[in-house]
């Protein structure tokens, strides 16, 4: 992500997603001051719903602003749903707000870890046999310990993804290429 003028807006569910995507973006060369991340305010409803509600608001702002090199990342766990279903929910939110679905060339990424971001972190840290069915433990209070996993993801994505990488991780990499191909 080479341009120092890139402003990346991120909306995500929680602090773990926040720490992971921030570290990934920094590793990809996005200046710290060009990253703006907000995650769901705790105790104020479902984090998933908050991210979905923010999506059309942020897309509208991105589309109506000056044509600067900006990008939007919406990051939401698949949980027990499918990645495609979570992406469809994003499309549905745009349609419900009277907006068109994201176009192929728009700098909008919908990143959906399956089952959740902890699945990706454990896989990237080398835990054997990671799958998208098990709910891996959260790093509550130690969210920043995901830095090595985020750095590994940045190193692999896009040209060194592995055959054993979870499909949602590979999809997340492809989505993030929309921000800086």
86-135 per-position pLDDT tens digit: 999 999 999 999 999 999 999 999 999 999 999 999 999 999 999 999 99
Q: Residue 45 has what pLDDT?
A: 56
Q: Considering the domain boundaries, does residue 109 fall inside one?
A: yes
Residue where the block lists tokens 């998208």: 132
Q: Considering the domain boundaries, does residue 1 fall inside one?
A: no
Among 1-15, 107-121, 141-155, whose mean pLDDT is lowest? 1-15
Computed over every residue of the chain, the mean pLDDT equals 92
Per DSSP (E only), the strands in the chain are: 7-12, 35-39, 70-75, 108-111
Q: Considering the domain boundaries, does residue 2 fall inside one?
A: no
Which domain, by its residues, includes 168?
A: 7-176
Classified as helix, coil or strand, 151 is helix
Q: Is the pLDDT of residue 32 over 50?
A: yes
Q: Residue 180 has what pLDDT?
A: 74
Q: Considering the domain boundaries, does residue 129 fall inside one?
A: yes
Mean pLDDT, rounded, for 34-57: 89
Q: Considering the domain boundaries, does residue 181 fall inside one?
A: no
Q: Is the pLDDT of residue 6 over 60?
A: no
CB 95 within 8 A of CB 101: yes
CA distance 159 to 113: 19
Structural domain total, the chain: 1
Residue 1 — very low, low, confident or very high, per pLDDT cuts 50/70/90? Answer: very low
């Amino acid at each position: 992500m080479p341009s120092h003028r890139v402003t990346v807006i991120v909306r995500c569910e929680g602090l773990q997603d926040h720490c992971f995507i921030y570290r990934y973006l920094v590793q990809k060369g996005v200046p710290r001051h060009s990253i703006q991340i907000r995650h769901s305010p705790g105790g104020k409803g479902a984090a998933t719903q908050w991210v979905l509600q923010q999506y059309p608001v942020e897309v509208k702002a991105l589309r109506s602003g000056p044509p600067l090199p900006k990008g939007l990342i919406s990051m939401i766990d698949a949980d027990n749903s499918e990645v495609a279903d979570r992406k469809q929910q994003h499309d549905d939110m745009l349609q419900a707000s009277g907006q068109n679905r994201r176009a192929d060339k728009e700098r909008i990424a919908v990143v959906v870890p399956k089952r959740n971001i902890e699945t990706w972190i454990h896989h990237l840290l080398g835990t054997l046999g990671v799958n998208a069915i098990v709910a891996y433990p959260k790093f509550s209070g130690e969210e920043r310990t995901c830095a090595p996993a985020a750095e590994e993801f940045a190193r692999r994505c896009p040209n060194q993804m592995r055959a054993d990488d979870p499909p949602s991780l590979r999809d997340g990499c492809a989505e993030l290429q929309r921000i800086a191909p």
